[in-house]
Amino acid sequence: MSTDRWLALSPSVRNALARKSPVVALESSVFAQGLPIPENGDAAARMVRAVESRGATAAIAAVSCGQPVLGLEGDDLKRFLRREGVRKVSSRDLGVAVTRRVDGATTVAATLALARLASIEVFATGGIGGVHRRAHHERSDQVRDESADLVELARSRVVVICAGAKSILDLRATWERLETLGVPVIGYRTQELPGFFTAQTGIALDVSCDTAGEIAAITRNHWGLGNTQSVLVVQAPPAEYALSPTEVESAIADALSEAQRKGVEGPAMTPFLLEAVSRLTNRRSLDVNLALLENNAALAADIACALAN
């Protein structure tokens, strides 16, 4: 693995970047914190395979023993999949993780920061973070918790492919924040903002595209006009796996109540809620998660190839 002061690149990633070939960044937090064992390893393999089968190079982002990496693989990847002392690292945590030489699984925000550093233009994930739902005990005038993902989307020239924001969030508030931050949202073969586990949210999109080529053209024009925001591409989870909005909302309501009873908060909230929803849906939400991750990786590779051409 080739290393400079700030970033280590796997041979395949470094060679692809040198040739200006398509590269797709992948976050590692979804494998180290978001999904259970052994499904996390299955997800990693499926996403990498989906990217490579479309002619692009996969670059899993992480901080490995204090070294930021794009192209986590081999024994290092296996260690992350075992979750042995791996921390969840957002963009603000990167400097601490490097200084203290820890293993850090990168969130969407941290992966965007590393992709930006390496000039990687495309990133595939499951669902972005956003504005959290207001807890029952909060006052209406209290500031609501908001993911760092939104800040990074507002300053990273990266195309991000996802299935919308995670269903456990306030989707309409997240949609409004994306608009305020100037982040264009493009639906791929959908005219409605997906809700991660479900295709229906009732939130209409302004722009929908049917091809990766059109998305690439919009992206080039967006950045060519001096904009610095990401382009957020959303596609619904595969129809054969997607859950109904009613089932999702019921499971999330129960999961939020459980989290409040147990005093879960901060960075632990999202993994807790995802696990609770999986349990409450008899693991059907886990099947949706795995399917949409693979689907998003495939679309990301197509867009990366279109941008490279």
Which domains, from first to last, does the chain contain? 2-308 (3.40.1790.10)
25, 59 Cβ separation under 8 angstroms: yes
Percentages helix, strand, coil for the chain (3-state, rounded to 5) are 45, 15, 35
Tokens of 123: 């990133």
Question: How confident is the model at residue 113, as a pLDDT?
Answer: 98
- Binned at pLDDT 50, 70 and 90, residue 137 comes out as very low
Question: How confident is the model at residue 4, as a pLDDT?
Answer: 67
Q: Once rounded to an integer, what is the mean pLDDT over residues 214-230? A: 98
Question: How confident is the model at residue 144, as a pLDDT?
Answer: 63
- Binned at pLDDT 50, 70 and 90, residue 210 comes out as very high
pLDDT over threshold 50, residue 250: yes
- Binned at pLDDT 50, 70 and 90, residue 133 comes out as confident
- Binned at pLDDT 50, 70 and 90, residue 136 comes out as very low
pLDDT over threshold 70, residue 23: yes
Q: Once rounded to an integer, what is the mean pLDDT over residues 80-86? A: 95
105, 40 Cβ separation under 8 angstroms: no
Name the more confident of 166 and 220. 220
Do you find a cis peptide bond into 271, omega within 30 degrees of 0? no
b/e burial code for range 87-103 (CB count within 10 A of at least 16 → b):
bbbbbebbeebbeeebb
Q: Once rounded to an integer, what is the mean pLDDT over residues 108-114? A: 98
88 as an active site residue: the answer is: no
8, 69 Cβ separation under 8 angstroms: yes
- Binned at pLDDT 50, 70 and 90, residue 282 comes out as very high
pLDDT over threshold 60, residue 143: no
Q: Once rounded to an integer, what is the mean pLDDT over residues 89-114? A: 98
Pairing outcome for strands 185-188 and 67-70: unpaired
16, 78 Cβ separation under 8 angstroms: no
Question: How confident is the model at residue 141, as a pLDDT?
Answer: 52
The percentage of residues in the chain with a pLDDT greater than 90, rounded to a whole number, is 86
166 as an active site residue: the answer is: yes
pLDDT over threshold 60, residue 202: yes
Question: How confident is the model at residue 91, as a pLDDT?
Answer: 97
- Binned at pLDDT 50, 70 and 90, residue 6 comes out as confident
Catalytic site residue from 27, 73, 121, 294:
27
Mean predicted lDDT score pLDDT of the chain = 93
Distance CA 188, CA 163 (A): 10
Question: How confident is the model at residue 270, as a pLDDT?
Answer: 77
Catalytic site residue from 73, 88, 121, 166:
166
In the three-class reduction of DSSP (H, G, I as helix; E, B as strand; rest coil), residue 105 is classed as strand
Q: Once rounded to an integer, what is the mean pLDDT over residues 58-73? A: 98
Q: Once rounded to an integer, what is the mean pLDDT over residues 22-27? A: 98
Q: Once rounded to an integer, what is the mean pLDDT over residues 14-32? A: 97
Question: How confident is the model at residue 134, as a pLDDT?
Answer: 67
Distance CA 201, CA 195 (A): 6
